[in-house]
Structure 1
Amino acid sequence: MKTVRIIGVPEHFNLPWHLAIEEGAFLERGIDLQWTDIPEGTGRMSRLLSDEETDLAIILTEGIVKSISEGNNSKIVQEYIGSPLLWGIHVAANSDFKTIDDLKTAKAAISRFGSGSHLMAYVNAEKEGWDLRELDFEIINSLKGAVEGLTDQQADYFIWEQFTTKPLVDNGTFRRLGNCPTPWPCFMIVATNLFLKRNATVLQHILEVINTYTQEFKNIPSIDRTLANRYEQKLPDIQEWLSLTQWSQRQLPLETLEKVQKILLALELLEKKLAPERILLT
């Protein structure tokens, strides 16, 4: 039996992995796939990959490209979610901010530097035409930390996947002022170079299992109700999310990687563009 460590955010995107684990699909291939939730998100997962404290991660595209450019010895194995992520821009429900433009000089709550919440603050600022040098950040570690940070006015706004935060909008904790979709597929399957060197056949088995599950995922009877119950979401919200989300079984196209690096360079979040073979498993 081969033990493989994998990490990801505790969100509805990753249910196919949990179903495959629970149903013994990896065990049938001689693989003990051990999943760990990382609520702190991409910045924390990048560090765990870099420190080889995990073998695989389901991680945001922009975050892992930036991390690899900074020396993280990992590679993108393939796309996991091929559709964009819809990031909601949130403020505390009782805050004085009414529009996104009101946030121009406000302080953004981020899970950590290099996280999606950090990088998307730049993407949103560029979209709005703000001075990127004026961006200000407060590290809050997780969604729970964001609730505390915005409520206590340690920070002013928080950018996070809008369906995950929808219950907090519904219960009056947050107000959503708008959204900012990623201009690329959002989640990648990533492996450390050490794991790739030693476990090429194991990785192939893992991909065959998860790609089968993601191809069939939307056809599972009552999967919308399962998701709503498991992740404490309203059924109409989950149904909308399912309609917008596409799982992928292919490698990230070269032209898409070029776009990601070009935008991150323009935002001064990358020092230099890397060759595709430094980032993608070929």
Structure 2
Amino acid sequence: MSSQPLRIGFVPEHFSTPLHFARKHYGLNAQLIPFPSGTGHMVTAIRAGEIDIGIGLTEGWIAGLGKEGVEGDGGYRLVGTYVNTPLCWAISTGKERPEITSVQSLAGKKIGVSRIGSGSYVMGYVLADQQGWLASGGGKEPYADTVILNNFEKLRAAVNAGEADFFMWEHFTSKKFYDAGEIRRVGEIYTPWSSWKIVASTNLTRDDDGLDARVKDLFGKLDQGIKHFNENPEESVQHISTELGYTEPDAREWLKTVEFPAKTQGVKPEVVDNCVSILRKAGVLEEGKGMEPKMMTYSS
């Protein structure tokens, strides 16, 4: 086992609170590296050897491994579950876009995404599938353009400037910008799967003795951080509202909606199968191409 601290990529939003508690209260020995641009950026970083662990969105990790033409061993495997509940993606447009009146009016419009393969990109196809915008077998794109904007700030600017017509981002992260009148809410869509997974670089899953001991230690510390989060809601609200930029009422409301697992190690095969099945139906992944679901998860 290496004595080097793990480099853990994470999204610096409210969901990161148990990870913060794991380090603050339970001695997690890790370098926490924020990725405000999300899971798609972490896919690139873990393949480049810049991080060892990533905590991000299920659909982003699975799309990254399931795409045709993934080089080498794909760079990472799903090793753990961070959030059990689905994610509520808010669908947003600019504050002065009167032509956009509903989710249905987004058909054939320009979608803004953080990166190709990110959650915001993948969910665009899930939305198109749910709305019936995917031409069966025709391979036609459901949107006029996919505008890559890298981060939440640029997405908000783009829908106000007309560079993009709409984008999707997590509900509570978006809400304060609705409240401030910067952007306008059009609708919402929930992921049809549990929303956050933990992945490890394949460099940590090659040991003859099984998973790298530092990853096992991470699971133990995360479990303690989650228990602390559940048992200390006031400390959680305080952290979210002072360190992460959410209002106290929004932090309290979010606590009612989220469920973290008691044990983070492991990923249920049916969750991966279901996600791959829906992503294939939505046209994000192709049957017979890319990594098969059972190969995406590390099993000792």
Does residue 260 in structure 1 map to residue 268 in structure 2? no
Among residues 226, 230, 237, which one is paired with 2:239 in the alignment? 226
- 2:229 matched residue in structure 1: 217
Deviation digits for residues 206-244 of structure 1 (CA, Å, limit 9, x no counterpart): 110011111331211512233222222222222221111
Does residue 59 in structure 1 map to residue 23 in structure 2? no
- 1:99 matched residue in structure 2: 102
The amino acid across from 1:73 in the alignment is G
Deviation digits for residues 240-264 of structure 1 (CA, Å, limit 9, x no counterpart): 2111101122422122211111111
Give distance in 2, aligned partners of 1:276 and 1:147. 34
Maintained 8 Å contact 2:89/2:169: yes
Among residues 77, 80, 99, which one is paired with 1:78 in the alignment? 80
Give distance in 2, aligned partners of 1:264 and 1:276. 12
Give distance in 2, aligned partners of 1:264 and 1:221. 35
| TM superposition shift of 1:276 | 4.2
Higher helix fraction: Structure 1 or Structure 2? 1
Q: What SS does the aligned partner of 2:141 have?
A: helix
Q: Which runs of 5+ in 2 are unaligned?
A: 135-139
Note the 1:6-17 alignment, pairs <5 A: 6-17=8-19
Q: TM-score, with normalisation over the residues of structure 1?
A: 0.93
Does residue 163 in structure 1 map to residue 172 in structure 2? yes
Maintained 8 Å contact 2:90/2:189: yes
Q: Which moved more, 1:227-236 or 1:168-177?
A: 227-236
Give distance in 1, aligned partners of 2:80 and 2:25. 23
Deviation digits for residues 167-221 of structure 1 (CA, Å, limit 9, x no counterpart): 1110001111110000000110100110222562111111100111113312115
- 2:6 matched residue in structure 1: 4
Give distance in 2, aligned partners of 1:255 and 1:66. 16
Give distance in 1, aligned partners of 2:48 and 2:186. 37
% of aligned pairs identical? 28
Give distance in 2, aligned partners of 1:276 and 1:149. 35
Maintained 8 Å contact 1:65/1:261: yes
Deviation digits for residues 86-135 of structure 1 (CA, Å, limit 9, x no counterpart): 00000111111121111112111100100111011111111111136232
Maintained 8 Å contact 1:196/1:203: no
The amino acid across from 2:58 in the alignment is T
Q: TM-score, with normalisation over the residues of structure 2?
A: 0.87
- 1:134 matched residue in structure 2: 142
The amino acid across from 2:269 in the alignment is L
The amino acid across from 2:205 in the alignment is L
Among residues 15, 35, 40, which one is paired with 2:37 in the alignment? 40
- 2:137 matched residue in structure 1: none
CA distance 1:217–1:123, change in 2 (3 Å): same
Give distance in 2, aligned partners of 1:10 and 1:221. 19
Maintained 8 Å contact 2:22/2:224: no
Maintained 8 Å contact 1:41/1:115: yes
CA distance 1:144–1:23, change in 2 (3 Å): same
Q: How many residues align?
A: 277
Note the 1:20-31 alignment, pairs <5 A: 20-23=22-25, 25-26=27-28, 31=29
